[in-house]
Structure 1
Amino acid sequence: MALQPYNSFGIVARALRLARVRDEADVRTLMADAGWASLTREAAPFVLGGGSNLVLTGDIKPLVLKVEIRGRRLVEETAKGWLIEAGGGENWHETVQWTLEQGWPGLENLALIPGCVGASPVQNIGAYGVELQDRFHELDAIDLQTGQSFTLNAAQCGFGYRDSVFKHTPAGDKGFGLAGRALITRVRFWLPKPWKPVLGYADLERKMAETGVSHPDARQIFDWICAIRRAKLPDPAVIGNAGSFFKNPTVSVEQCADIIARDPKVVHYPMADGSIKLAAGWLIDACGWKGRGVGNAGVYEKQALVLVNRGGATGGEVMTLAKAIQTSVYERFGILLEPEPVVV
């Protein structure tokens, strides 16, 4: 099965075996099949959602489970908020748009993030001052070793910056890692009342100044963020990419002061825990990478944090470029950038 249509980088690769999962019963049917044990003996199944956070460096040999579970609904409304549920295969941006159309604000800052709902807790997606964990209630998943369904709350998901329990494997018999073991079927979100806008980013403040709208509603914020992201980031349907390729690194106050002494224009944000977050895109741009490339993989001309497929790029070219960028940033700033996408 060709995977080029199923990864936003548009990298040519194949799945040796692929099964479409449209509901929980599909997983149990697969696991009950006599061939399941042999297919999963050497490697855990590979769960594939929207393929928007993925770099394929070759064909995928493990069984690929393509999540296509649909459905969106209001579970409950109270005086304190709305509880919303969406299937793991639902498009994330369309789900955000749908909640606003129903009159349920709270996800607008996460507009236009590519991918599926089921992947959102894995990555703990975030943008413009809001992370998924801020709106997360719980999720349902299937254990791919036992076939049992289970539910996790926010604490059990172990959310961190672009991190969760789904990105880690347990060390021996210690720890609670679910990488390669869980298939997320449904996610529930809590959208609190009264709604409060999150506006603490320069781009949004600029929009307020430009439009003269000092008290935007949720739909206005949604429209602004869509416009901002479209101006900065390439459309994967036009130019293959996986969005932001590197995580924004955090450093101590002392480390930040040292960098500012050498590069006063470095973009940085104080964090609640006392650390300082640096803008990875600025670091990459400062090293002169914007617009450059390796083979058919390149750094986007408008945003250095995004690596793109200029046509026919291989996963190897993307990763060679990524490693060259990491080396440049480390040599200049002493910071090792961490990639966001899953590399397979």
Structure 2
Amino acid sequence: MPGSVLLHTATQDLSSFNTLALRSQASAFVRLGDEAPQHLQALSDLADRHVGRVFILGGGSNVVLAPRLGSLVVKVETRGLRVWAQSDSELVVEAKAGEVWHDFVALCVQNGWNGLENLALIPGTVGAAPVQNIGAYGVELEQRFHSLVAWDLHERRLVEMDGAACRFSYRDSFFKHEAPGRWLILAVRLRLPRPWEPVLRYPDLLAHPALGRGQSAAGATLSAEVTARQIFDAVCEIRRRKLPDPAVLPNAGSFFKNPVVDAAQCESLRERYPDLVAYAQPDGRYKLAAGWLIDRAGWKGRRVGPVGVHERQALVLVNHGGATAADIEALAGAIRVDVADRYGVELEQEPVRVA
């Protein structure tokens, strides 16, 4: 199992610690296996020697690593799970930051702790989930978030943060902007609703045969009781069918965020492209499917040197072998320019660039 103590090395090859399998080396590296006060204090001592140059690494599934990192890289490997609180209206589950996100979701489903099943098979760790404000198939992390515990590396103290403090937005949070590297997330608490109701708004779930949905005059309706396990299994099947396994073909999942445009721009695009994929938002704007834009522009399946766009999912950039951050960024840049020229829409990268 991961070390139970703080281990420090001068250098570390990070090629196996990022799902894009980019060649990268850290000049200073730490594995954090537990939350003992002396280890957190020692970590702050190390951070003091790398002022402004600390990077917290989880599962490495949402990063583009430079060939050599000048930062102190902290690999979080803590483990643990417990019911933190419960009532008639909710169950609050707490997981340590180093837990693998998918394994955590699977255990929740196994225990009958329903509410996270739509977020199955998202790569990464529990501690990274609120940083990215992960979401999929109709559920966003912020909808299930209760609070988190973090170590303030600068002030050497534990802090608890609720959803308001985390300042969640679409694939974004406080942690990406306010002194990145200062906050070491140690545990995350998720609020699971009682009674549970299935979330089946996403088109792929509505159409999935295993969920027993039929058609009525009012539209799609449940023809049988749907369970969290069925949703979990359906999401896993859909993701495996659509997305490449990073262990087989290195990738960082969805590389671009779905852009949000105003109603006028959406309507203008729809006049030119009647098959445009767009989703109405509560504020009157529309979220466009970035994958549709990239696919329609002809990028799906294209390869440029050691990198390319996946043949089944245009949102996914893949490393065919030996790629560096520069290769990924050159391809991503070409896609952004082409999409902007064709549609007047700016794409924003999801994975964090780490140098």
Tell me the TM-score normalised to structure 2 length: 0.91
Match of 2:319 in 1: 309
User: Could you tell me the percent identity over the aligned residues?
Assistant: 52
**Change beyond 3 A, Cα 1:328–1:136:** same
Matched residue, 2:171: 162
1:24 equivalenced with 2:35 (yes/no): yes
CA contact (8 A) 1:142 1:149 kept: yes
Give the conservation status (yes or no) of the 8 Å contact 1:208–1:214: no
- What secondary structure is seen at the aligned counterpart in 2 of 1:238? coil
Aligned to 2:9: none
Aligned equivalent of 1:338: 348
Aligned position for 1:54: 63
Q: Work out whether 1:81 is the aligned partner of 2:82.
A: no
* Secondary structure of 1:86 counterpart: strand
8 A contact 1:294–1:318 mirrored in 2: no
Q: Map residues 87-166 of structure 1 onto 2, 5 A cutoff.
A: 87-166=96-175
Q: Is it true that 1:253 corresponds to 2:266 in the alignment?
A: no
> Number of paired residues?
332
CA distance in 1, matches of 2:335, 2:85: 47
Q: For residue 202 of structure 2, what is the aligned residue in structure 1?
A: 201
Following the alignment from structure 1 to structure 2, what is the Cα–Cα distance between the partners of residues 56 and 178?
Answer: 19
Q: Is the 8 A contact 1:106 1:192 kept in 2?
A: yes
Q: Following TM superposition, by how much is the alpha carbon of 1:40 offset from its aligned partner in structure 2, in angstroms?
A: 1.2
Higher strand proportion: 2
For the 8 Å contact 1:269–1:278, the answer to whether it is kept is yes
**Counterpart Cα distance in 2 of 1:256 and 1:130:** 24
SS of residue in 1 equivalent to 2:26: coil
User: Are the counterparts in 1 of residues 115 and 144 from structure 2 also a CA contact under 8 Å?
Assistant: yes
Contact 1:23 1:185 in 2 (8 A): no
Is the counterpart of residue 217 in structure 1 residue 218 in structure 2?
A: no
What code does the residue aligned with 1:124 have? N
1:293 Cα deviation (Å)? 2.3
| 1:238–1:332 Cα change, 3 Å | same
Distance 2:282 2:102 in 1: 28
Structure 2 vs 1, CA of residues 78 and 210 (structure 1 numbering), >3 Å: closer, same or farther? Answer: closer
Shift of 1:62: 1.2
Deviation at 1:36, TM superposition (A): 4.9
Deviations 1:221-266 (A, max 9, x none): 0000000000000001101000000000001110000000111111
Alpha-carbon distance in 2 for matches of 1:233, 1:152: 33
Q: Name the CA distance, whole Å, in 1 between partners of 2:278 and 2:297.
A: 16
Q: Give the superposition deviation at 1:274.
A: 1.0
CA distance 1:29–1:210, shift in 2 (3 Å): closer
Classify 1:240/1:316 alpha carbon distance in 2 versus 1 (closer, same or farther; 3 Å): same
Partner of residue 284, structure 2: 274
Contact 2:210 2:230 in 1 (8 A): no
- Structure 2: tracts of 5 or more residues without a match: 1-11, 214-222
Q: Distance in 1 between matches of 2:244 and 2:15?
A: 18
* Alpha-carbon distance, 1:159 to partner: 0.3
AA at the equivalent of 1:24: E
Q: Deviations over 1:52-101 (max 9, x none)?
A: 00111221111111111110111122111111000000000000000111
2:20 to 9, 22, 28: 9
Shift of 1:28: 1.3
Does residue 72 of structure 1 match 2:81?
A: yes
1:281-323 C-alpha deviation (Å, 9 max, x unpaired):
0000011000112211100000000000111111111000000
- Contact 1:329-1:336 at 8 Å conserved across structures: yes
Query: Please, which runs of 5 or more residues in structure 1 have no aligned partner?
Result: 169-176
Residue aligned with 1:106, SS: coil
Give 1:209 deviation, angstroms: 7.6
Q: What is the CA–CA distance in structure 1 between the aligned matches of 2:309 and 2:194, rounded to whole Å?
A: 41
Counterpart residue number, 1:172: none
SS in 2 for 1:70: coil
| Inter-partner Cα distance in structure 2 for 1:185 and 1:142 | 7
| Cα distance in 2, alignment partners of residues 67 and 98 from structure 1 | 20
2:245 counterpart of 1:235 = yes
Q: Partner amino acid for 1:238?
A: V
Cα distance in 2 between the residues matched to 1:312 and 1:211: 44
CA distance in 2, matches of 1:106, 1:228: 18
Secondary structure of the 1:140 match is strand
Q: State the match for 1:44 in structure 2.
A: 53
Q: CA–CA distance in 1 between the matches of 2:282 and 2:198? A: 19
Aligned partner (choices 286, 294, 297) of residue 287 of structure 1: 297
Let me know the Cα RMSD of the aligned residues: 1.3
